Amino acid sequence: MKIFESQNFWLCQVFLSILLVLYLPTNTFADRALRCHGRLVYVGDPKADVLSKCGKPDQVEQWEENPNGYTSKIYDYEKERYQLPELIKGPIMVERWTYNLGANQFTRYLFFQNGELYKIERGDK
């Protein structure tokens, strides 16, 4: 009898697969929403909505990407999946807003492209 054909081997594989999925680090994934003062902001919201719900960020960084060309947007952060390329004519103004939510909370980084929230990341506590 071969080892790969035994029932115990397959049960062990299923068990290990389930453990792997359950223990993947969750902070490597981008969030789709952020709760600010009891109100939610979502990926796709404009800067003005985020500012009115969350208040002034602790830090703002701005930069310009691809000033003389086209950028292909292939990852949809809202749906967390790849999509067909969407050409965005440059320049693309990118901003990163930092919210320090306190000692027991994760720092949140909100990324905007041309004024639209496209990614929310968790930082360190």
User: Considering the domain boundaries, does residue 115 fall inside one?
Assistant: yes
Q: What is the pLDDT of residue 66?
A: 75
Q: What is the pTM of this model?
A: 0.65
Name the amino acid, one letter, at 64: E
User: Considering the domain boundaries, does residue 39 fall inside one?
Assistant: yes
Q: Specify the 3-state DSSP secondary structure of 68.
A: coil
Q: Where are the alpha helices (DSSP H) in 23-118?
A: 47-54
How much of the chain is in helix, strand and coil states, percent to nearest 5? 25, 45, 35
User: Considering the domain boundaries, does residue 8 fall inside one?
Assistant: no
User: Considering the domain boundaries, does residue 2 fall inside one?
Assistant: no
Domains identified in the chain, total number: 1
Q: What is the pLDDT of residue 50?
A: 96
pLDDT tens digit string along 43-97? 889 999 999 999 999 999 999 887 666 666 666 666 667 777 667 677 889 999 9
User: Considering the domain boundaries, does residue 44 fall inside one?
Assistant: yes
User: Considering the domain boundaries, does residue 21 fall inside one?
Assistant: no
